Structure 1
Amino acid sequence: MINRYSSRLTKLDEGFLNKKLKNARNYDRIAGYFCSSILEVAGENIEAVSGKVRIICNSNLEKEDVDIAVKAQQMKQEWCEYGPEEKYSSPAAQDRLSRLYRLLASGKLEVRVIPDEVYGLMHGKAGVITYNDGSKTSFLGSINETKSAFSLNYELVWEDNSDEAVKWVQEEFDYFWNNKYAVNLCDFVIKDIDRISKRRIVPLHDWREQNDEKIGEAAAETPVFRTEFGLWEHQKYFVERAFREHQKPGGARLLLADQVGLGKTVQLAMSAKLMALYGDKPILIIVPKTLVFQWQDEMMSLLDMPSAVWNGHGWQDETGYFYQSEGAKSILRCPRRVGIISQGLVARRTEAADYLKQQTYECIIVDECHRARRRNATKDPDRNRADANYLLRFLNEITFKTKSMLLATATPVQVNTIEAFDLLNILALPNEKVLGDRYSKWRCVPQTMLDMVCGEKDVPNQESAMWDIMRDPLPERSKDTVVINSIRDALDVPDDKYVLGPEVYSEARPSTREKIRSLYTAGDFVHNYNPYLRCIVRRTRDYLENTINPETGEPYLKKIEVKLYGEEDREALELRGYLRQAYELAQQFCEMISARVKGGGFLSTLILKRIGSTICAGESTAKKMLAWTEEGRKILEDEFDVDFEDDDLGEIDQNSEVKDLKPEEIDVLRDLVKVLSLNRDNDPKCNRVLDILTKGTGGRDTPWMKSGCILFSQYYDSAHFLAEYLSSQLSDVNIGLYAGGDKSGVFLNGQFEKKEKDDIKRAVKSHEIRILVGTDAASEGLNLQTLSTLINLDLPWNPTRLEQRKGRIQRIGQVSDTVRIYNMRYKDSVEDKVHKVLSGRLNGIYNMFGQIPDTLEDVWIDIATNNEEKAKERIDMIPKKNPFKLKYEERPGKTEDWASCEAVLDKQDVKQQLLKGWK
């Protein structure tokens, strides 16, 4: 029998669905789009169905992804982007979700999702109802599985209970239900339905008045948990520790020294957000100039956290709005709770930086804090006062103006272990719990104490010396230090007291003295309870990948293997023909400049590095240098058709001595420009990149573009040139360009269109872009899990950049268990020589990256100017082993499941608090 239903004539919820579901045993449904279908279906009367209800619906899943965890993450992102917590906040909607959760959790309702790109959007809506007596009926029509469809919209439904019709609809359903691309609804969505059904809003005032503020209430609905991958356990551990310590007298005083690539920024930013919500004083973030907008972007995109950046002329907020400065004192009128400044503002001793010392803060965060250092690190620190650079002096002063201070660096030791003391001393100056008072051994003879910590000096065994080391400071009480807690209890020491007198030990009970001696024996206290261990938080990827989380039975981080290419001599590109000629001319120019100008090595070396990147970058630099002189400008205009009115080459920073080029230097640059300009369209590195993308590296290796590839250069002109070249060679392939400022965009068939960075990110996530060329603006804060190969077009001055680049694809959610990385270099180039020296002296350049100090940037200059012995001396100055490697890695403590928190802060309260300016 055929029945026709129109919502014009009857309400379809009562007149069709509820009526037809009476006495139903099973219900199979081809529905519409994933989010609305799954949410609204519970609003209908399907609980009366005695057996199973199965729904297949559409989703934005990618059919190329075969990893279930990746599909679950995509489903989670799609779910959260739908905004269910806002759409279903009414009591009636929450009741519907509660019923939906019960159906899903019991297994009575099963949902599978299929990528819409497999068959397009699922506009065909149909279903089969099986009754208790075995009879069946089928229907199809325009109707979606939503409340509005059944009760409000104009919809048509065609019912047919003939065997032929039922069989036809059932076959359609079974095809999709059993399809290889169909996946079950992920656990996160099911749990989140339950969470939203119980969700309640907590006013910020009430949250701040709680004795034990729930971090999940402030974190659960931030983008990092909703649309990204959340925080790893080690990240949550640090955030919780920093925030809990901030709530105590004296605040949080910590140095985060995680290995590069473990997400220090988001840990610090989340800690800052909690502190900004908890208190009313400003948050000041001090970072290298190149990272100020990276910090601002990441805080907004991951934490929904507005901030303002001081650009030297005024504040610029997260929307790009600029607040005009009325002088240096305007720096005290930050329009946001969180203000970000560059370290250069301090290092240049600006008036604005001095004004910052007049403000009091909730928290100060310093990223890449190793730049605050002494100049005489190799001298005997116990006998010589630190010759502090200006950043270190500034931090030593402003530390008194903040409740909490968080420092961060992957390399707390650059040259000498005393540098770790200098960083802890910043934290300690106003707070005795870090290093004790000014008479403490940890302050008075820092190098001696560090030598004991590192096992290079014996620990004294006299009782008086022992007690002096332990009592000042006495470690604070914590849940992880049972023995310390028992000693504090036995001595009746208040929780906020850290320095005890010398008489306390002699006056203690014999049993207490024995307990203290037992802790100190065999150096246990010095090696396991010292201030460095207590205040430095350091984890490595290797440790987290190989340590089992007892809560899950899995490692704290999923291991992603790295297969490295380009390291062997046979894989280096040859310097031949015109390129060899250009390189020799550039070397000749470098030697000329270095011979006559002290300190000219850095600038002259730059031309060698840029030729080693791409011919285009080398040509651009050679022209800029030639343009320093009037004679050079005339050469460019007459011989190379450069019109300075139309093509301003700009300037490279240089001192006046370098700028005053000699005739013979001009001649070398002229020859160099000629060679490079004639051959700019035949770049060996670009050709090799194309081969790797389209053919692989040989053997059984597949073309890298199939797996998605990110290509890095430290220079924008190289990145732009490579992206344009690849676009001209790969028809109908989107080539993304990700760079600083407004320079990002997409090349297609050689044509460039500007795009916002967020648009690039979305296109990579949705697989619209499978090849992305980026500068180091893409090496931090960008999640590229959909790409699993990486090519370094050039090697950066600071090798830690390689680890940061690798971290874009070696991260949670990576679609592949193995990522492939190719490091490109020319044989006998500066890069090649630096590579050999570093790898030969430091046991393998790849394993060493991420642990070495910034001072190795000078190695490039030494080798480029043929001073290899000096380069080796610099390397030999680095400690042979990191004294903070294994001791300072501890198993992350158990934290709450923040993402499932049912109570959440009022978003308007949070927004208003973070938008408040400094007072």
Structure 2
Amino acid sequence: MINRYSSRRSKLSQAFLNEKLKNAVSYDRIAGYFCSSILEIAGESIENVTGKVRIICNSSLNAEDVQIAAYANLRMKQEWCEYLPEEKYFDENSALRLRKLYALLSSGKLEIKVMPDEIYGLMHGKAGVITYRDGSKTSFLGSINETKSAYTVNYEMLWEDDSPEAIVWVQEEFDFFWNSRYAVNLCDFVITDIDRISKRVVIPLKDWREDSDDVVPAVAVEETVYRRDFGLWEHQKYFVELAFREHKQKGGARFLLADMVGLGKTIQLAMSAKLMALYGDKPVLVIVPKTLTYQWQEELKTLLDMPSAVWTGRGWIDENGYEYPADSNRSILKCPRRVGIISQGLITRKSEAAELLKQLKYECVILDEAHRARRTNAAKDPDLHKAQPNNLLAFLNEITFQTKSLLLATATPVQINPIEVFDLLHALSLPNEATKVLGDKHSIWRKRPQTALNYVSGNVDVPTLESEMWEIVRNPFPQKIENNRRIEIIRNQLDISDDTFVLPQNMYSELRLAQRQKIKELYFDDNFVQNHNPYIRSIIRRTRKFLEETINKETGEYYLEKIEVELFGEKDEEALELMGYLYQAYKTAEEFSTLLSSRVKGGGFMSTLMLRRIGSTMLAGENTAKKMLAWTAEGKERIKDLYDDLFDEDDEDDEERRSEIKELTLEEVRCLEKLVKVLKNNRDTDPKYERVLSILQNGVNDEGAWKDKGCIIFSQYYDSAKYVAELLSKDLKDTRIALYAGGDKSGIYEKGNFRKETKENIKKAVKNHELKILVGTDAASEGLNLQTLSTLINLDLPWNPTRLEQRKGRIQRIGQISKKILIYNMRYKDSVEDKVHLKLSERLKSIHDIFGQIPEVLEDVWIAMAQNDEKRAEEAINKVPKRHPFELKYEQNILKTQDWQSCTFVLNKEEKLKELLKGW
């Protein structure tokens, strides 16, 4: 029988849905668009279906999103959170509806699958099959979606047909979609979040500050990074909870975060800073390299909805780009936001503005890339007592007294000498309230740092005399948070509060025998010096290897999904040949570098610039020579303008390398002119570009074309990146090529034509699989998520080795759609890069394995090799310690964190924003 229904004639919720679901044992539905509001008008009817209710509906997932289950779940989570369900379901009716939906989903009675829109477009063909207890069935189709408004507000029509032919036809359509390889089950996060939102309670800021069990999740659970980005990993949540818990205690939070590159130090620090800013009422100061100031501001805004202001020297700029001009240097004390971000260069130059900052009291101070705060000559002066702190370390030693919490971050706390990490911890420990770091002024950890470091490093045996043992243990004595049962027992038995860090010297002699025995067991049996020394208590360090190979007992999953890395270009036969005109050009560049470095004191960096640039692309080499000739002709006294033109960055730490070269000699000028002529005549046949094009089209071995997998191509130099992007656009005519660079130079090439585009739109297009080839400068090496790309080509190898790790971190990160990423490192045979690679690669690898990345100081190795000084290069690299001086305490396990995902108490969003908008 055929029945026709119109919402104009009757309420379809009563006349059709509720009526037809009576005595139903199953319900299969192609919904098009599904919303929980359907349960408000048909919840009981669906609940009373004795068997399964299966619904297939649309999703904005891409076809490529669903190829890997973990990424499909992540994207589905993001889609759900972008819908802002916490803002749409806020009344009691909504909560009741969600509780019903959760009960149906968690019991398995209701199953929902989603289908990417792009597979068959939007599901306008809405239909269903209902099966009854007596075995009879009916089918229907029409315009109606499975929503409350569709059944009660919209004008809709339905056509019911219970004929066998119609039922079979509709069932076949449903089964086709339900069993499609593109159909994805509703992810667990969405189901759990439905339950959370149904119980959600908004609490005022005042109550949160005074009393809340879920203090951290209450702030964090609805942050953008947690819901609409890639979430927070367990090790990140651990640090945030630890830092905030300590911030509320005596002495505040004083930690050095030393996670490997790519493990998200910035977001850990930023989330901690937000919690501290909301908990207290004082300013938060963030000190970062100049190149990272706006990246920090952008991440605070997009990931944490956290306003901030950046000091430019001319005033403050807030997160919306609004400028607050300075009328004097004192304007730095009038930051318009709770969080102020300044450049390290402000401090290294000992500016007046930096001095003024010492007048304020802070809730928290953060120093990113903290290894730059060190002794000026620790690498050269064997008498470390004479080594003086550089300006950044001196500033740190003063500002530490002005802040409740101090958080430092660097992946390489030791660059040359372990004493460098003592200096950082010493800065953390200086205030009287911070004795938990290194103890008081009588502590051996503070008075005899080299001796203590020798104990920790295993260079000398630890003392066995009880008197010496007691001095090592008591000052500072660890807190209960060390997760050691003996520490907890000792503190409880001796009635020592957890905010007492230095135990009296004479206490040990007054202890009972059993109490002394417990301390001995802590020292000897628990290996106190290795497992509980002040360094590993204050240094939080996790490695990717540990996270990828360790299972979280709570979830049964690895702490981090493993992403394998396959490197190409490492073998000798994979290096590009320096032949013909290229060989001639490179030899001419070497001649120029030798001439310049031999007569200019401290000119090693700039004299080798030509070799760096010609090793990138022929165009870059030609541009360098032309600019040097023009610079000489104009009589400029500094090379700064040349540096700024050639690099897509502005790093104040390279200021000392910008040598004063007043003029070039006639011989040097002739070298440059010869170089320009050779390169200009042969620029159209660039070997590196030809190799890039081949890899993109054909792959390297049998892994397939890299352009199909998605690829980012890195160069240090904007002109090289632009040159490659332009040529690729012409050779890959049907492929859009993105150029990602500093300033407003980013854009998209399409069939050879360029249009400017914002970085945000480029990132969005990559995320949605609309862009598969990205050519970027090192402006793209930090703070950029490129999980949809699984291959990377380094057109040139940066002479600051840390950049290689930062580049790799763009694709080796959570949410990567492939189990393996492919990386090709390009270099010319017999070039400087090749010499370093062949002679020092094994040593570099061992250093990388120890530290997680290569120390920045090894840039000197490249300069020495460029100047054919192999002995100096070996000396530089051999100064780096052969092993990490600290046991990796956080490689043993990651302590359990609170249940963020199920947190039902959330902080009032408007109050959070209002608090953070307050100025200094």
Contact kept? 2:847, 2:853, Cα under 8 Å: no
Where 2:287 maps in the other structure, the secondary structure is strand
Please tell me the residue identity of whatever aligns with 1:271: S
**Corresponding residue for 2:106?**
105
1: CA distance between counterparts of 2:59 and 2:189? 15
**Corresponding residue for 1:161?**
162
Within the candidate set 467, 489, 492, 1:486 is matched to: 489
**Corresponding residue for 1:638?**
none
Contact kept? 2:142, 2:159, Cα under 8 Å: yes
Q: Shift of the alpha carbon at 1:38?
A: 8.0
1: CA distance between counterparts of 2:786 and 2:594? 41
Contact kept? 2:850, 2:884, Cα under 8 Å: no
- Post-superposition Cα deviations, 1:663-706, rounded to whole Å, max 9, x if no partner, equal 222222122222223333321111111111110113x2211112
1:600 counterpart = 2:603: yes
2: CA distance between counterparts of 1:505 and 1:339? 47
1: CA distance between counterparts of 2:44 and 2:517? 72
Q: Where does 1:29-40 land on structure 2 (aligned, <5 Å)?
A: 29-33=29-33
**Corresponding residue for 2:426?**
425
Where 1:549 maps in the other structure, the secondary structure is coil
Q: Shift of the alpha carbon at 1:115?
A: 1.3
Contact kept? 1:562, 1:819, Cα under 8 Å: yes
**Corresponding residue for 2:61?**
61
Contact kept? 1:6, 1:155, Cα under 8 Å: yes
**Corresponding residue for 2:448?**
445
- Higher alpha-carbon deviation: 764-773 or 488-497: 488-497
Q: Shift of the alpha carbon at 1:502?
A: 2.3
1:586 counterpart = 2:589: yes
2: CA distance between counterparts of 1:613 and 1:695? 22
Q: Shift of the alpha carbon at 1:784?
A: 1.7
1: CA distance between counterparts of 2:567 and 2:773? 19
**Corresponding residue for 1:93?**
94
Please tell me the residue identity of whatever aligns with 2:7: S
The TM-score with structure 1 as length reference comes to 0.94
Residues 1:853 and 1:866: Cα distance change in structure 2 (over 3 Å): same
Residues 1:763 and 1:885: Cα distance change in structure 2 (over 3 Å): farther
1:669 counterpart = 2:677: no
**Corresponding residue for 1:260?**
261
Where 1:554 maps in the other structure, the secondary structure is coil
**Corresponding residue for 2:52?**
52
Q: Where does 1:206-355 land on structure 2 (aligned, <5 Å)?
A: 206-210=207-211, 212-355=213-356
2: CA distance between counterparts of 1:650 and 1:262? 24
Please tell me the residue identity of whatever aligns with 1:449: A
Please tell me the residue identity of whatever aligns with 2:156: E
Q: Shift of the alpha carbon at 1:168?
A: 1.9
**Corresponding residue for 2:859?**
857
Where 1:627 maps in the other structure, the secondary structure is helix
1: CA distance between counterparts of 2:758 and 2:11? 46
2: CA distance between counterparts of 1:360 and 1:372? 21
1: CA distance between counterparts of 2:166 and 2:384? 94
**Corresponding residue for 2:894?**
892
**Corresponding residue for 1:538?**
541
Q: Shift of the alpha carbon at 1:847?
A: 4.8
- Higher alpha-carbon deviation: 853-862 or 365-374: 853-862
Residues 1:174 and 1:41: Cα distance change in structure 2 (over 3 Å): farther
**Corresponding residue for 2:391?**
390
Where 1:753 maps in the other structure, the secondary structure is strand
- Post-superposition Cα deviations, 1:37-89, rounded to whole Å, max 9, x if no partner, equal 88888668422323222111111222234211111111111111111111122
Q: Shift of the alpha carbon at 1:479?
A: 5.7
Contact kept? 2:214, 2:903, Cα under 8 Å: no
Residues 1:688 and 1:33: Cα distance change in structure 2 (over 3 Å): farther
**Corresponding residue for 1:509?**
512
Contact kept? 1:560, 1:810, Cα under 8 Å: yes
**Corresponding residue for 1:616?**
619
**Corresponding residue for 1:409?**
410
**Corresponding residue for 1:771?**
773
**Corresponding residue for 1:636?**
none
- Higher alpha-carbon deviation: 474-483 or 43-52: 43-52
Contact kept? 2:33, 2:146, Cα under 8 Å: no
Please tell me the residue identity of whatever aligns with 1:535: S
- Post-superposition Cα deviations, 1:217-269, rounded to whole Å, max 9, x if no partner, equal 11111111112221111111111111100110110111111111211111111
Contact kept? 1:307, 1:339, Cα under 8 Å: yes
2: CA distance between counterparts of 1:130 and 1:509? 78
2: CA distance between counterparts of 1:657 and 1:901? 59
Residues 1:692 and 1:36: Cα distance change in structure 2 (over 3 Å): farther
Residues 1:656 and 1:735: Cα distance change in structure 2 (over 3 Å): closer
1:461 counterpart = 2:464: yes
**Corresponding residue for 1:642?**
none
- Higher alpha-carbon deviation: 291-300 or 133-142: 133-142
**Corresponding residue for 1:369?**
370
Within the candidate set 622, 626, 632, 1:629 is matched to: 632
**Corresponding residue for 1:10?**
10
1:682 counterpart = 2:685: yes
1: CA distance between counterparts of 2:134 and 2:67? 41
Contact kept? 1:536, 1:888, Cα under 8 Å: no
Q: Shift of the alpha carbon at 1:596?
A: 1.2
Contact kept? 1:418, 1:447, Cα under 8 Å: yes
Please tell me the residue identity of whatever aligns with 1:388: P
**Corresponding residue for 2:24?**
24
The TM-score with structure 2 as length reference comes to 0.94
Within the candidate set 756, 759, 763, 2:761 is matched to: 759
2: CA distance between counterparts of 1:414 and 1:367? 15
Contact kept? 1:628, 1:659, Cα under 8 Å: no
Q: Shift of the alpha carbon at 1:385?
A: 4.2
Q: Shift of the alpha carbon at 1:354?
A: 0.6
Residues 1:40 and 1:310: Cα distance change in structure 2 (over 3 Å): farther
Q: Shift of the alpha carbon at 1:909?
A: 1.0
1:734 counterpart = 2:718: no
Please tell me the residue identity of whatever aligns with 1:810: Q
Where 1:790 maps in the other structure, the secondary structure is strand
2: CA distance between counterparts of 1:670 and 1:378? 39
**Corresponding residue for 2:643?**
none
1:83 counterpart = 2:84: yes
Please tell me the residue identity of whatever aligns with 1:916: K
Where 2:901 maps in the other structure, the secondary structure is helix
- Higher alpha-carbon deviation: 661-670 or 557-566: 661-670
Where 1:795 maps in the other structure, the secondary structure is coil
Residues 1:35 and 1:145: Cα distance change in structure 2 (over 3 Å): closer
Contact kept? 2:552, 2:559, Cα under 8 Å: yes
- Post-superposition Cα deviations, 1:460-508, rounded to whole Å, max 9, x if no partner, equal 3333333222222222332613222333334333332222332222222
Please tell me the residue identity of whatever aligns with 2:470: W
Where 2:93 maps in the other structure, the secondary structure is helix
Contact kept? 1:41, 1:100, Cα under 8 Å: no
1: CA distance between counterparts of 2:83 and 2:306? 20
2: CA distance between counterparts of 1:879 and 1:184? 51
Where 1:820 maps in the other structure, the secondary structure is strand
2: CA distance between counterparts of 1:801 and 1:506? 54
The CA RMSD over aligned residues, in Å, is 2.4
Q: Shift of the alpha carbon at 1:662?
A: 1.9
Where 2:726 maps in the other structure, the secondary structure is helix
Where 2:57 maps in the other structure, the secondary structure is strand
Q: Shift of the alpha carbon at 1:531?
A: 0.8
**Corresponding residue for 2:641?**
none
- Post-superposition Cα deviations, 1:96-125, rounded to whole Å, max 9, x if no partner, equal 111111111122211111111111111111
Residues 1:42 and 1:531: Cα distance change in structure 2 (over 3 Å): farther
Q: Shift of the alpha carbon at 1:911?
A: 0.9
Contact kept? 2:606, 2:658, Cα under 8 Å: no
Residues 1:909 and 1:266: Cα distance change in structure 2 (over 3 Å): same
Residues 1:321 and 1:650: Cα distance change in structure 2 (over 3 Å): closer
Residues 1:677 and 1:499: Cα distance change in structure 2 (over 3 Å): same
Q: Where does 1:138-217 land on structure 2 (aligned, <5 Å)?
A: 138-210=139-211, 212-217=213-218
Q: Shift of the alpha carbon at 1:192?
A: 1.3
Contact kept? 1:127, 1:169, Cα under 8 Å: yes
Where 2:518 maps in the other structure, the secondary structure is helix
**Corresponding residue for 2:639?**
none
